[in-house]
Amino acid sequence: RLLETVLDDFNVKGEITAVRTGPVVTMYELEPAPGIKASRVVGLADDIARNMSAISARVSAIPGRTVMGIELPNADRQMVSFKEMVGSEAFVGHKGMLPIILGKDIAGEPVVADLAAMPHLLVAGTTGSGKSVGLNCILLSLLFRFTPQQVRMILVDPKVLELKSYDDIPHLLSPVVTEPPKAVRALKWAVEEMERRYRMMSEISVRNLASFNEKVRAAQAKGKPLGRRVQIGFDPETGEERYEENQLDFEVLPQIVLIVDELADLMVTVGKEIEVLIQRLSQKSRAAGIHLIMATQRPSVDVITGVIKANLPTRISFAVTSRIDSRTILGEQGAEQLLGKGDMLYKPNTDPVRRVHGPFVSDEEVEAVAEAWRAQGEPDYVDSVTEEPEDGYFGFDDELTASDDPAERKYRQVCQLVFENQKVSASWIQRQMGVGYNTASKWVERMEADGFVGPANHVGKRDIYRDKNGNPL
């Protein structure tokens, strides 16, 4: 009744048709009188909160129904327990490839999403909004459900402290990555791994990782390795095509989850490179079974650029400071009205936004789960995830290759790019490497001095003196 009176004071006629009580907020369903615009009710959120003496109120239209939802916080907030969620039927009986626990919705029902269907997730929220606890819940739900043979992880944590407790669990592909250059290398490794998996899948003509693993398992069960027919030429007498069977010794491949906690830090230090890698991964890696989870405290446009946003379709926003931040991440306002401490808005790919309350996980619980996994075995680290490959730069003298100077490595990268593409010009290098024109022309001049490319002719074209593998022509 009080709510109806408050709305009436602002000339919004209508009646409350239903009340749903949840663990953290109560939702009142308002049936507005004919002719009342939804946007007008949404704009009254702050006034409703003030008159109901609540901390905040969130008003939203409910898709597919004529009512509007007004959410007000409960006086006593219940805790959502992670233990209860792990044992819930929604999680245990979930049929998805990578089920992750998000929390409970307004009605108190468990919300479990499938990371493989997302296929990538963008998380934002200010300090203290429960973002790190949310990431812990996602990680723990994967650890409770999958062995290292089924899921491997790469954790990138520029803040150094957040994901440290997971060090040395057998699921990791490398120790927790804390330095930006190594983070770039880890993403590059993921791109290389994605390309490798695509080649393997095309060889046995399957379209995704699940079918690939199914075929490999079936072949292993029969005890007969997979093979493919390859044409090796023509019969000199009859002119018919000749084939031979190639044996492929493929293993079952695990899914890979790559988690970055604090994207803003990486965007400041190695922005352009990271953006291109995220774009390449997120566009293609779903079929290869590689999934990204990116988290940031600062949901501003310079961190969550248009490119990143377009390629990470599923989003979660914890409490943010302003409407603009909420719009940047979700495309609509509302996240600035959240209560913090795990209160979030979850926006699946194209579906409407849902409000979810995340469970609380203490550091002790995280430590206990990590400790239990550590006791079960050593991690099997892949060195190339964080180290540049030894043979990554070809056609150079040993003392050059041994150099650790970042400028030197950059120059070698440019040379490699030029040899592989058999193309050289300052403006082309500028576009490829994302640097200024002066830097690019200095590199071209140095390549000429080193004898890798020839002088410019009358139209500015240069000959390249190395082949695609970097060997002198």
Residue position matching structure tokens 């909420």 = 326
Q: Could you count the other beta carbons within 10 Å of the beta carbon of residue 389?
A: 12
Express each pLDDT in 186-235 by its tens digit.
998 998 899 889 988 888 888 889 999 998 888 888 877 777 767 677 77
The reply to whether 278 and 375 lie within a common domain is yes
Q: Which two tokens stand for residue 24?
A: 């953290």
Supply the pTM of this predicted model.
0.78
Domain boundary among 334, 358, 384: 384
> Which amino acid would we find at residue 262?
E
The reply to whether 469 and 444 lie within a common domain is yes
Domain that holds residue 62: 2-73
The reply to whether 94 and 193 lie within a common domain is yes
Q: Which two tokens stand for residue 267?
A: 């965007």
pLDDT score for 20: 87
CB contact at 8 A, 30 and 7? yes
Query: HSE (CB half, 13 Å, CA atoms) of 404?
Result: 2
Express each pLDDT in 358-413 by its tens digit.
998 988 999 999 999 999 988 888 888 877 765 444 334 333 444 567 778 788 88
The reply to whether 224 and 349 lie within a common domain is no
Which whole number is the average pLDDT over 451-462?
A: 84
Q: How far is CA 8 from CA 27, 32, 44, 56, in A?
A: 18, 11, 12, 19
Domain boundary among 367, 384, 401: 384
The reply to whether 345 and 465 lie within a common domain is no
pLDDT score for 390: 52
CB contact at 8 A, 165 and 173? no
The reply to whether 178 and 262 lie within a common domain is yes
